Amino acid sequence: MTEETPGFEEKPDVPSGATPDDAEPKAATPEGAAPAGDAAATTTPDPGLIAQLDQVRTALGERTADLQRLQAEYQNYRRRVERDRITVREIAIANLLTELLPVLDDIGRAREHGELVGGFKSVAESLETVVAKMGLQQFGKEGEPFDPTIHEALMHSYAPDVTETTCVAILQPGYRIGERTIRPARVAVAEPQPGAQNVKAEDASEAGEEKDNGSEEG
């Protein structure tokens, strides 16, 4: 009977030439089982997860379209507000200048009569400079063709020396702001003398015949 030495355990016999690792049993790999990496690669995606991803993509597209629409509406709103602001400003300026037109008419008449002198002249010129800076433009000249869109005929006559309806006198000048007429030019117009064109045509015809006759005689 042998005595066991305390602190030492019996170890199984290990064949000569074998390492301790060889002695430990290894887990057997089941036949036909793929390695762990290959199993992860061949895993089929979850259909529920794909459906959720499609829903998120759809929602993102809808939100993006909403944002683009809101941006376009905001830009249109800004342009409309700016256009309305400019329109209101032009209307306010036109109303103010319309109230000043009688004063400008008085200044014009005083200038025609040589009464625009001294301090009155300086004030009048300053006022004309201010309204010009605000965009007020005067129009209407003698001798220009009559245009009913910018002229208002207050007097009518016939004249043998005009070939079309012509402004022969400017009774009150017209005024505009940009392309907007705030008062038409009030004018006196003259039309060609009735029958004057026929007489001129006959005179021209006779002159042409006399020239031809002179050429034949020569």
Is CATH 2.40.30.10 correct for 136-205? Answer: no
> Angle 47-112/118-133 helices, nearest 10 degrees?
160
Q: Give the integer Cα–Cα distance in Å for 188 and 205.
A: 33
What's residue 48's pLDDT?
A: 82
Q: pLDDT for 44-80, tens place per residue? A: 778 888 888 888 899 999 999 999 999 999 999 999 9
pTM of the full structure: 0.56
Q: Give the integer Cα–Cα distance in Å for 176 and 150.
A: 9
Return mean pLDDT, the chain: 80
More confident site: 203 or 146: 146
Q: Give the integer Cα–Cα distance in Å for 218 and 209.
A: 14
Phi, psi for 191 (deg, rounded to 5): -110, 160
What's residue 1's pLDDT?
A: 46
Domain definitions of the chain by residue range = 52-134, 136-205
What Rg, from alpha-carbon coordinates, does the chain have?
52
